[in-house]
């Protein structure tokens, strides 16, 4: 193995940490991802900064916590003044581009104010989260049908899938026993094979594009963000993945009746959402999860293709590989569907990192249970390319010292995550204004503390209740611990890096130097 020249930053969408073979799932088949884990390190306690697509990703890409970067929900523009991964990589001479999804909304208002042409070189980067948009595809059509990112639809048309939106009618729909087209948007159709042939699926297509691009880049160093839409809904997979799993492969639901007795008000409001109600129906859950698992195994097959390419092209020895996800999926656990709240099913993600350096040989195949955050990736990439750390801006920490087994490492003891549920029905049922919907999670080795503005806290004893079935937020016995967590939360919020247009070095250089600069104040 050798020095890091390239970075392959693979992200899935809505992939739970525990739905991989290497992470303990008893029935799912992910041999290629498992093999990646055996070549690198599997971080078993990796947390996203926000368990929802857009906000989580903006933290992955900026290296900053959610309420620091401010893009607190899907569709909230990332402020034009927030530098991203691409900016840091380009400073180090590394071309950085995207194939797939970012869920980034451009800050059109500030771009207009600054006269920044969205079609100029810098305008495109500012619109695409700092990535060169080698292939932007956010999935979720029809939302994207108004944008410029119709390539996958055009590709499908070219392969003989007709219609205006074959993303929907072919890749995300199936045909029922009556020969009628049924949309994968609806859970009841999760058992159908998608119309699309598996070799033309969105996952296959994105992988093709990634391999083509890496080929095209030749020997230039690159950072490729390959960002799969799957296994995110619509939950419908092409053959043979659609029936690779059956109900007998579905693991038991993680919930208890106690959870429905006086639940936390915010959690309770989420429990009333349609997705939670449907996934709480065991029959429906067992109908959908096999498709979810199939989509994961499909991704796994294509990870195998990527690794083959890297090996064949000789790039395996000079490429740092990350495999992760933007958040998990409740799938009915805790009487919830989707994500956004802070149970492990939602906030914990896979995080496998293969560091090609010889220095990392000692940790290959190991699992690491240190508390890792999504914002650690940007500092890791900068560190891996020997760039200067940016502690005035980046709120994460490089993982290289862990990957390279540095001794006596003083690591964080708490991971943080945040939510802003202003856009959800829960806000309406709780009768809250749009700026009263913030929540925070603190996760230590043995405890999880959750604080929603305006409500009491949640507390879980992970040592004795690893499945988070008993909320101790109202336990008098734990009031001291709750107070300590609240103090830690406040301290952390006070340390947000909002002063990020000046480096610490620049401050050191300028401290107490007015006289040297010809400014004499208070001098007799």
Instruction: List the interface residues with a second copy, window 446-465 (CB under 8 A).
Output: 453
- CB of 32 vs a second copy, minimal distance in Å: 28
Q: Which stretch binds a second copy (CB under 8 A): 247-255, 376-384, 408-416, 500-508?
A: 500-508
Distance CA 482, CA 163 (A): 56
Least Cβ distance, residue 301 to a second copy (angstroms):
25
Nearer to a second copy, 138 or 383 (CB): 138
Q: How far is the CB of 422 from a second copy (least distance, A)?
A: 5
Residue range at the interface with a second copy (CB under 8 A); choices 17-25, 216-224, 473-481, 513-521:
513-521
| Nearest-approach distance from CB 490 to a second copy, in angstroms | 4
**Closest to a second copy by CB, 470 or 497:** 497
State the minimum distance, in angstroms, from the CB of residue 425 to a second copy: 4
DSSP strand pairing (193-194 vs 237-238): parallel
Q: Is 183 in the site for a second copy (CB under 8 A)?
A: yes
CB neighbours of 165 closer than 8 A, spacing ≥ 6? 141, 142, 145, 153
Token readout for 459 is 């507390």
Q: Does 386 participate in binding a second copy (rule CB under 8 A)?
A: no
Residues of this chain, 289-328, that bind a second copy according to CB under 8 A:
none
Phi, psi of 301 (to 5 degrees): -60, -40
State the nearest-atom distance from the C-beta of 24 to a second copy, in Å. 26
Instruction: Tell which positions 413-442 bind a second copy, by CB under 8 A.
Output: 420, 422-425, 427-428, 433-435, 438
Kind and range of the H or E element at 372? strand 372-373
Q: Which of 115, 179, 218, 252 binds a second copy (CB under 8 A)?
A: 115
Count of chain residues binding a second copy (CB under 8 A)? 86
Q: What radius of gyration, in Å, describes the C-alpha atoms of the chain? A: 23
- Decide: is 179 part of the binding site for a second copy (CB under 8 A): no
Query: CA nearest 54: which of 109, 17, 101, 86?
Result: 101
Positions 66 through 85 that interact with a second copy (CB under 8 A):
67-72, 75-83
Q: Which of 281, 296, 384 is nearest to 336 (CA)?
A: 281
Q: How far apart are CA 114 and CA 112, in angstroms?
A: 5
Neighbour tally for 216: CB within 10 Å? 10
The residue length of the chain stands at: 524
CB-based contacts of 234: which residues, under 8 Å, 6+ apart?
Answer: 172, 183, 184, 185
Q: Does residue 518 interact with a second copy by CB under 8 A? A: yes
């Amino acid at each position: 193995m050798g020095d890091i020249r390239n970075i392959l930053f693979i992200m899935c969408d809505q992939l739970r940490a525990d739905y991989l073979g290497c992470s303990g799932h008893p029935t799912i088949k992910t041999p290629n991802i498992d093999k990646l884990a055996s070549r690198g390190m599997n971080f078993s306690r990796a947390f996203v900064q926000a368990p929802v697509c857009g906000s989580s990703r903006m933290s992955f890409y900026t290296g900053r916590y959610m309420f620091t970067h401010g893009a607190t929900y899907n569709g909230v523009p990332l402020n034009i003044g927030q530098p991203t991964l691409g900016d840091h990589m380009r400073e180090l001479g590394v071309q950085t581009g995207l194939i797939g999804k970012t869920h980034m909304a451009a800050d059109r208002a500030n771009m207009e104010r600054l006269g920044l042409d969205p079609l100029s070189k810098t305008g495109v980067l500012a619109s695409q989260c700092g990535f060169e948009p080698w292939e932007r595809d956010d999935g979720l059509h029809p939302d994207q049908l108004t944008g410029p990112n119709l390539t996958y639809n055009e590709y499908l048309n070219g392969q003989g899938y007709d219609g205006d939106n074959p993303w929907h009618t072919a890749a995300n729909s199936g045909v029922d026993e009556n020969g009628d087209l049924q949309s994968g948007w609806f859970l009841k159709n999760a058992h159908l094979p998608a119309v699309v042939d598996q070799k033309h699926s969105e996952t296959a297509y994105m992988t093709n594009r990634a391999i083509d691009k890496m080929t095209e880049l030749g020997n230039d160093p690159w950072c490729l963000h390959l960002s799969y839409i799957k296994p995110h809904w619509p939950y419908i997979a092409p053959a043979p993945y659609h029936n690779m799993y059956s109900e007998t492969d579905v693991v038991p639901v993680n919930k208890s009746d106690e959870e429905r007795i006086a639940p936390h008000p915010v959690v309770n409001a989420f429990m009333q959402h349609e997705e939670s109600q449907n996934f709480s129906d065991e029959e429906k859950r067992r109908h959908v999860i096999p498709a979810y698992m199939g989509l994961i195994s499909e991704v796994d097959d294509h990870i195998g293709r990527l690794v083959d390419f890297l090996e064949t092209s000789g790039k395996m020895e000079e490429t740092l590989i990350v495999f992760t996800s933007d958040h998990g999926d409740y799938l009915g656990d805790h009487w919830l569907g989707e994500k956004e709240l802070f149970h492990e099913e939602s906030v914990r993600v896979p995080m496998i990192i293969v560091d090609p350096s010889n220095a990392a040989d000692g940790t290959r195949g190991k699992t690491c249970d240190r508390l890792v955050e999504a914002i650690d990736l940007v500092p890791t990439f900068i560190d891996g390319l020997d760039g200067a750390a940016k502690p005035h801006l980046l709120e994460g920490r490089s993982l290289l010292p862990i990957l390279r087994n540095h001794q006596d490492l003083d690591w964080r003891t708490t991971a943080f995550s945040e939510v802003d549920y202003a856009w959800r029905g829960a806000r309406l049922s709780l009768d809250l204004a749009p700026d009263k919907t913030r929540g925070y999670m603190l996760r230590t080795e043995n405890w999880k503390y959750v604080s929603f503005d305006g409500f009491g806290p949640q507390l879980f004893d992970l040592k004795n209740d690893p499945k988070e079935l008993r909320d101790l937020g109202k336990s008098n016995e734990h009031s001291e611990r709750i107070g300590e967590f609240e103090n830690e939360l406040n301290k952390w919020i006070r340390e947000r890096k909002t002063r990020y247009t000046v480096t610490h070095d620049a401050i050191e250089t300028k401290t107490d130097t007015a006289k040297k600069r010809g400014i004499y104040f208070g001098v007799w």
